[in-house]
Amino acid sequence: MQLEATELTADELALQREVREFLDKRLEPGTYELGLGMTGATDPDFSRDLGARGWLGMALSSTYGGHDRTAVERLIVVEELLARGAPVSYHWIADRQSGPSIQKWGTEEQRQKYLPGIASGELSFAIGMSEPDSGSDLASLRTKAEPTEGGWVINGTKIWTTGALTATHILALFRTSEHKHEGLTQFIVDRNSPGLTISPIPFIDGSREFCELSFENVFIPDSERLGDIGTGWAQNTGELVLERGGVDRWMSAVTILEHWAADPAIRDNPLALADLGSLAAKEWAFHGLSLSIARMVDEGKSPVTEAALVKEMATRYEQDCVEAVLRHWDRAPDLTSDDPHEALLARALLVSPSWSIRGGTNEILRTIISKGLASA
């Protein structure tokens, strides 16, 4: 495993300035709901605005409506969006991983059908992976796809499927044989498919992003199968590189941290200054790690171990950010406060324990890291 130090080039810094200038005008303070990193609000109009500027599907091929840009350039755009607490939920999963997966594993028909809509912000994807009783052992999932004339019939349940209520499609992993890993296959599911019931699961902060998906004799044409039968596990593992090593894994609390850092009272509090200095140094380090991983992706590498390492450390860092701000807050934050920053802090207090679970628990990640290091 090797993460090489790297910096943004002059052209990349120019893109950063362009994005900042756009967001200064498009997301004026008080005109949108502040979000916690990648769980920002759902705003299809904002997603379409990004698509119109070429800032969605950036690394997708221009043949399919993408822009032939790099993983680093996408990182720059995403970093600026998350720093503002922007409403990114509608396009997030499609842009981050569903689009690249369809481009890599999909048929020509699938690429033509889905990728232009992802790049324009018209299509929204959710990921159907977790299931009741499966825990962190994704390979134990039981929702079956059984062959039938012209396609497959799906029966079973998915749970904790983020954004399924507003998504246009779900990229889901189903069991197509009894072999644990080789018996899994991915399918693209239209959220309006007959027999599919999507039920929101209220979370502790009152949000309803998580959903339960019930499949009852849902028919999926074979043309919507992504990749070969039985290759779903390998495809899904590749997607997790895109999910785990990005800036989204350390930026959930950045909006809270920056608002707290601007408080003049911190200057007279040595303990607060020490906490802020430590967190700021770590934030810069994580920026460098994510940038290095993006460079590796642009070089055609698959930094599975490196991405797992960043995710394991970064989500713990996010939780540390919330704890540090709360240590110096003069009261319990109110979720219903008129101050959007206080309400956001209260929400973070409630949901931050989940940050080290989503995308793979720390225990699972440590296993991936140890195996990767042992085989290096």
| Average of per-residue pLDDT across 168-173 | 97
In angstroms, the CA 57 to CA 95 distance is: 6
Cβ within 8 Å of residue 14, ≥6 positions away: none
Sort residue 331 into left (φ over 0), alpha (ψ -120 to 50) or beta. Answer: beta
Kindly indicate the confidence band of residue 208, based on its pLDDT and cuts at 50, 70 and 90. Answer: confident
pLDDT, average across residues 155-171: 96
Q: Where in the chain is the domain with CATH 1.20.140.10?
A: 245-375
Query: Which pTM does this prediction carry?
Result: 0.92
Alpha helices in 94-177 (DSSP H): 99-105, 108-120
* CATH architecture of the domain formed by 245-375: Up-down Bundle (1.20)
Range list for CATH 2.40.110.10 in the chain: 127-231
Span 176-188, pLDDT tens digits:
999 999 999 999 9
CA distance 77 to 130: 29
Q: What is the pLDDT of residue 243?
A: 66
Residue 185: C-alpha distances to residues 154, 161, 231, 321 (Å): 12, 17, 6, 38
- Chain center to CA of 307: 13
- 265-288 exposure pattern, b = at least 16 Cβ within 10 A, e = fewer: ebeeeeebeebbeebeebbeebbe
Q: What angle do CA 364, 369, 370 make, to 5 degrees?
A: 100
Q: Is the Cβ–Cβ distance between 304 and 237 less than 8 Å?
A: yes
pLDDT-derived band at 228, boundaries 50, 70, 90: very high
Percent of the chain having pLDDT more than 70? Answer: 97
- 91-144 confidence digits (pLDDT tens): 999 999 999 999 999 999 999 999 999 999 999 999 999 999 876 678 889 999
Give the CATH fold of the 10-123 domain: Butyryl-Coa Dehydrogenase, subunit A; domain 1 (1.10.540)
Average pLDDT over residues 354-364: 80
pLDDT in tens, 239-282: 666 667 789 989 999 999 999 999 999 999 999 999 999 999 99
Architecture of the domain defined by 127-231:
Beta Barrel (2.40)
Write down the pLDDT at residue 242.
60
